[in-house]
A and B are shown apart, each in its own frame.
Chain A
Amino acid sequence: MLGPSGSGKTTLLRVIAGLNAPDRGRVYFDGQDATNLPVQDRRVGFVFQNYALFKHRTVGDNIAYGLNVRPRHSRPSREQIRARVAELLKFVQLESLGSRYPSQLSGGQRQRVALARALAIEPRVLLLDEPFGALDARVRKDLRRWLREVHKETGLTTIFVTHDQDEAMELADRVVVLNEGSIEQIGTPSEIYDQPVSPFVISFVGEAVALPVNVEAGRVTFGDRTLHIDTHGLRSGPARVFFRPADIAVATNGAGELEGRVESLRRTPAGVRATIAIDGYDQTLEIDSPLDQAAALGDRVPLSLANARIFTVSDTKTDYVDAGEGI
């Protein structure tokens, strides 16, 4: 589940876990209605952003907690619990730290203890609430790779909440994009990247340039220029064209749909990165071009669009209507 802070991802996760009650709607686990099931009986493995480890218990005791609190008749024996804890410690690569206290561990280690504790109860679903939020970039990367392996080994359905699109795209088979309390899109990472259904999705996931345009009788105009975009019968009126920075290039045949001015040039290993101001648009773009086709500073260059999506601006000005892909 991907979304900016305050978009409702954590709330949704907590509803699934049973920590919050939904105002409407129902929660199903494998087709079984779990809406009224108390959190204790849902068997969810929940990993909190701040780990929520029991500070007065050792790492081993933390992991064993879910087994120790079971009613006597279903509680494993001491030896079984000890064996399970050892197995989990090995699984999270903390074999030698079972007798330490959480305060003696690093952030990444604590996160792994929290995960081991959640896995100990053999949950039906693993819920991770921004688990890497408080860690530095390098540890995050390692844990991300590791988590993929955990997922492969356990085969557990895992719901991972994050505001980091790279994390979401790298980890997920399916991404749910949330904004202001509602789901914008559900899809595979490539669907989210290539077929974003709303302006929010396209601008939140990856960079996007938004050009204010006008649609009239199937013709899209930006200022006094015409853009060759299929409007799919979009109704007339103001609209917005979105495209990725990578989808705009300096037109090699000399005639482009847009025109810009080269503001600055920088050398990159592969060629030249030009900062270009598009006429009629208040932000600049960076466009990479090979060395031999580099424009000079101050040049006016024609620009061509390879791929764009157009959304109309509705009456409320915040809603957009999908008009499908252009060009």
Chain B
Amino acid sequence: MTSPTLAGRHARRFKAPSVIPGFGVTFGYTLLYLGLVVLFPLATLVWRSSGLGLSGLYQIALEPRVAASLQTTFAVSFLAAGIDLFFGLIAAWTLTRYQFPGRRLLDAFVDLPFALPTAVAGISLAALYAPNGWFGAPLADLGVKIAFTRWGILVALVFIGLPFVVRTVQPIIAELETELEEASATLGASRLQTVVRVLLPPLVPALLTGFALAFARGVGEYGSVIFISGNIAYVSEIAPLLIIEKLEQYDYAGATGIATIMLAISFVALLVINLIQAWSRKRFGHV
């Protein structure tokens, strides 16, 4: 081998030289696991539903009950992620910025929705919000019905999604120096101006990540929702439940069809969020 070819090979190297070896091994593992764990099952799903064809999928999506459930799933997930965004930010701020007795305990509570079996969460929430429950009874007196309606789904998804926002935003808040707020104040900015102009912009990328995670989790959530939603067709029936139902009726094509549609919508939604995030990182993320 002559040196010019060697130089040529180096110029076209796949990765930059580094002090830590093992790129080949780790890259291989990454591809293998992504392939086995994520792409292979998803590909199977698409393959199973491919027999339906695009028009078949379209037909399924237009089925009134399916359309209603898809709408419920995505709309409620979106709304729940938005609520989580707001309260998650406040919770993350409080837990990071202030010192108070019981802070660590409270901080640990944030993770409970992660750890709790979703069915347990669903049953607890259903018991609380049912018309004879602790929250449900007084609300029923006011004429508000939560459990066994779409609002019930919202309550469950807000509960499930909260930790995603808190946990993604917390480290970024910890990095924000208090001097930034103080500098803003000495320059004459009001508190609201300081929050909007100085504190929020650096948090936008992390907030979007948290929102995307909470949204994705909400779309896929099954266990907690079915107990509180009442699963009333056209009203409070979520798409994952419909999939289970189709499977129980041995309607595999129908089930995979709905799943594929969900997959496509989720993928597009997450892609859009990621693009906004990339833009915001460019715009706000000069660290």
Interface residues of A, Cβ cutoff 8 Å to B: 17-19, 39-46, 48, 50, 52-56, 65-66, 69-70, 101-103, 117-118, 120-121
- Determine if B283 and A45 form an interchain contact, defined as CB atoms under 8 angstroms apart: no
Give B residues with C-beta under 8 Å from A. Answer: 177, 179-180, 182-190, 193, 197-198, 201-202, 283-287
Given contacts A40-B188, A50-B177, contact A19 B182 (CB under 8 A): yes
A118 / chain B contacts, CB cutoff of 8 Å: 186-187
Alpha-carbon distance A55/B183, docked complex (angstroms): 13
- Select which of B187, B284, B285 is within 8 A of A117 by beta carbon: B187
Cβ contacts under 8 Å, A18 to chain B = 186
Q: Choose among A41, A52, A101 the residue that contacts B179 (Cβ–Cβ < 8 A).
A: A52
Asked if A65 and B286 sit within 8 Å, CB to CB, the answer is no
**Cα of A302 to Cα of B181 in the assembled complex, Å:** 61
Are A102 and B184 in contact, CB atoms less than 8 angstroms apart?
Answer: no
- Please, how many angstroms separate the alpha-carbon atoms of A103 and B284 in the complex? 12
For B190, list chain A residues within 8 Å (CB). Answer: 40, 69
The answer on a CB contact under 8 Å between A52 and B177 is: yes
Contact B185 A52 (CB under 8 A): no
Which of B179, B186, B189 makes the CB contact (< 8 A) with A44? B186
Checking B182, B193, B197 against A52 with a beta-carbon cut-off of 8 angstroms, the contacting residue is: B182
Among B179, B183, B190, the most chain A Cβ lie within 10 Å of the Cβ of B183
Residues in A neighbouring B188, C-beta threshold 8 A: 40-41, 43, 66, 69-70, 121
List, in ascending order, chain A residues with CB within 8 A of B286's CB. 55-56, 101-103
List chain B residues, Cβ under 8 A from A52: 177, 179-180, 182-183
Contact of B189 among A40, A43, A53, A101 (CB under 8 A): A40
A-B contacts besides A40-B188, A41-B188, A56-B201, 17 pairs, CB < 8 Å? A19-B186, A39-B185, A40-B185, A40-B186, A40-B190, A52-B179, A52-B183, A54-B198, A65-B189, A69-B187, A69-B189, A69-B190, A69-B197, A101-B286, A102-B286, A117-B183, A121-B187
Closest chain-A Cβ to B139's Cβ sits at a distance in Å of 42
Bound CA span A43–B284, Å? 28
Residue of B186, B285, B286 with highest tally of chain A CB at under 10 A: B186
Do A55 and B287 touch (CB < 8 A)?
yes
Q: Report how far A39 CA is from B190 CA in the complex, Å.
A: 10
Q: List chain A residues, Cβ under 8 A from B180.
A: 52, 54
Which residues of chain A come closer than 8 Å to B189, judged between CB atoms?
40, 65-66, 69
How many Å from the CB of B3 to the closest CB on chain A? 38
Q: What A residues does B182 contact at CB under 8 A?
A: 19, 39, 46, 48, 52
The CA-CA distance from A83 to B284 in the complex, in Å, is 25
29 contacts between A and B (CB under 8 A): A17-B186, A19-B182, A19-B185, A39-B182, A40-B185, A48-B179, A48-B182, A48-B183, A52-B180, A54-B184, A54-B197, A54-B198, A55-B287, A56-B202, A65-B184, A65-B187, A65-B189, A66-B188, A69-B188, A69-B193, A70-B188, A102-B286, A103-B286, A117-B183, A118-B186, A118-B187, A120-B187, A121-B187, A121-B188
Residue among A65, A70, A103, A118 with the most chain B CB within 10 A? A65
